[in-house]
Amino acid sequence: MLIEALEGDVTVVYCNAIAASVQIEVEPVGRWFEAFLKRRNRNVSASFQELEEEEELSEESEDEELQLEDFPLLRTLDPKDWKNQDHYAVLGLAHMRYKATQKQIKAAHKAMVLKHHPDKRKAAGELIVEGDGDYFTCITKAIEILSDPVKRRAFDSVDPTFDNAVPSKGEGKENFFEAYAPVFERNARWSSKKHVPRLGTMDSSFEDVDHFYSVWYNFDSWREFSYLDEEEKDKAECRDERRWIEKQNRAARATRKKEEMNRLRTLVDTAYSLDPRIKKFKDDEKARKENEKKAKADAKRKEQEEKERARQAELDAARLAKEKEEEEAKLVAQQAKKEKEIQKKAIKKERQKLRTTCKNWNYFGDNESDSVKMMEDVEKLCDRLELVSLQSLNEGLALGSKEEGKVAVEKQVQEVNAQLQKEKDAEVQARQAVRTTVQASGGGGGGGKGWNEEELPLLIKAVNLFPAGTNARWEVIANYMNLHSTSGIKRTAKDVINKAKNLQKLEPGQKDEINKKAFEKFNKEHAAVPQTVDNAVPSERFDGAEANTASWTTEEQKLLEQALKTYPVSTPERWEKIAAAVPGRTKKDCMKRYKVSWTLLLLILLCVVSNPVCMYNLDDMSTL
């Protein structure tokens, strides 16, 4: 301890007075050399030896400081009931118990022998009980149990002073740490592993708390209950009896061990459920997860917003591009329209100029018939010639004489007539080709006999009546045709298949030709049906001055169809509601329109059934 400076003294530090350090080699001598050799032979450091010496000194001091407690009931103990005695109390170590070292136990036993040995007491004039009936036998049993590590562990496992109680939930709720800290510290003595963690405080970290409960949930207890065996196998008279006793003892030990582990598990479970730190950690974890969830939701929402903005930008860009294209297309269309109008006006002007020129020359005729014929030719030229041709012709007429103009017009008329004739011949050839193809397609099957116009619609109808999937489809179709055909030709399934394949190969124009012929035949056979409809006199319920005779528009027809679907037959005052749904039409108009539409629909269905090749557009009812 430094001496306190006197009043008025001044402390001065001399920095230059300190000498530099110098490394000097020294050799141990005397007892220090002996310690050096010991350390070198044992390969330990000086600090380790110092710890050993301190431990030896501490044990010597313990022996010197060992104080034994008197056991007043020692003289009253029954040697025969030695198993129920407190061995630590017998040796005067009741205050140390399981913490007492073997050296202390031996020292205590030595002191007790010197004090309570029968020879000592007999020399002092005390009456001694002969044999094993003297209480000194209890001291002998105590040193026998406590000096053997196995027997001492068995006795420590059932230490009568140990408190096995577990605090209740009520006690733990009010003072958790005060109630459970001593209990865990008391039960930590049973651990097979050293350094069992303590319960800690409210400020303990999550890692410490988690480590504490992990250790206790996996607690490995060395506590065993062999000391409480009711039977001693050494007293058995035979081997079978020893086995039976050992079996009974093992069962009893297992039962007590299981109860002990259940007690510890109950202690840990109860503490875990009441630990305020666990609740705090769970609340923190829940708050963290909620924050993460919220942050994730915010990030996802921002991402969605970014995607929505990008999508909206793309839509705007696409809309602007489309508007620009539409505007450009509109300008192109307007320009084309203007050019078309200009060309139309120019053609009209050239036509008028041609007519005027020919009219001034009396159409190059000497009589009225020639003039009329030339007038027709001029009109033909006006209809057929293009703008360039008309301009060229008008220029020739303007520069030449009447005769030259006539020759030019006649030449142009001849060219137009030749072109018209050429187009007419091409049309005739096309029709002839269609007719030839139809005839050629009708010549397969049936033993070389062709298919007439009656059998083709019948084949198409049979194919529609018996679709794919029908059992023995083509035989059924052949039988149907043989039953309904009036040609008298028997068709086989092979004939029907070949003809159906040929029909599938027909071009659209050829199919239209077949449909046209079938429809003409249908009109010829059912000519009276439409006449009856046209001449039908409407009933009185449709007559009236308020009926609207104007034709129905497409919009009115759609409104009527929708109203018929909306108000079924069971609806009260149905036609009044239907008429209200069609503006400008009365109840009688709607009823009359419904009847006419239904009649025409039946006629069309009849046509389709009779001739399947006939096709009608039934979707647009406004055309009825």
Gap between the Cα atoms of 108 and 181, Å rounded: 32
Q: Is 221 helix (H, G, I), strand (E, B) or coil?
A: strand
Amino acid code (one letter) for 32:
W
φ, ψ dihedrals at 618, nearest 5°: -90, -5
Supply the DSSP symbol for 191: B
d(C-alpha 207, C-alpha 300), whole Å: 33
Say how far apart CA 488 and CA 329 lie, in whole Å: 63
Q: With pLDDT > 90 as the criterion, what percentage of the chain qualifies?
A: 11
Residue 331, pLDDT score: 92
Handedness of CA 316, 317, 320, 322 (dihedral sign): negative
pLDDT of residue 316: 93
Residue 380 predicted with pLDDT over 80 = yes
pLDDT at 537: 41
Mean pLDDT value of segment 207-236: 84
Mean pLDDT across the stretch 209-235?
84
Give the whole-number percent of the chain exceeding pLDDT 70.
79
**What pLDDT score does 485 carry?**
81
CA distances from 620 to 48, 545, 555, 612, 616 (A): 110, 29, 11, 20, 10
Long-range contacts of 230-239 (CB under 8 A, 24+ apart): none
Mean pLDDT of 369-385: 83
pLDDT of res. 611: 53
The residue assigned the tokens 């997860």 is 289
pLDDT at residue 264 tops 80: yes
pLDDT in tens, 78-136: 778 888 888 888 888 888 888 888 898 899 888 888 888 888 888 877 777 776 677 88
State pLDDT tens for residues 520-561.
766 666 554 444 333 434 444 444 445 566 788 888 888 888
C-alpha dihedral, 319 to 324 to 327 to 333, nearest 10°: -110
577's CB contacts (< 8 A; 6+ apart) are 563, 567, 571
Tens digit of each residue's pLDDT (9 = 90 or more) over 283-314? 999 999 999 999 999 999 999 999 999 999 99
- pLDDT confidence band for 507 (50 / 70 / 90): low
* Per-residue pLDDT reduced to its tens digit, 466-484: 888 888 889 888 888 888 8
pLDDT of residue 297: 93
Q: Using one digit for the tens of pLDDT, what is the confidence trace for 388-421?
A: 888 888 888 888 888 888 888 888 888 888 888 8
Q: Give the mean model confidence (pLDDT) for residues 251-265.
A: 90
What are the φ and ψ backbone dihedral angles of 80, each rounded to 5 degrees?
-70, -25
48-77: average pLDDT = 61
d(CA 333, CA 327): 10
Q: What is the DSSP letter of 15?
A: S
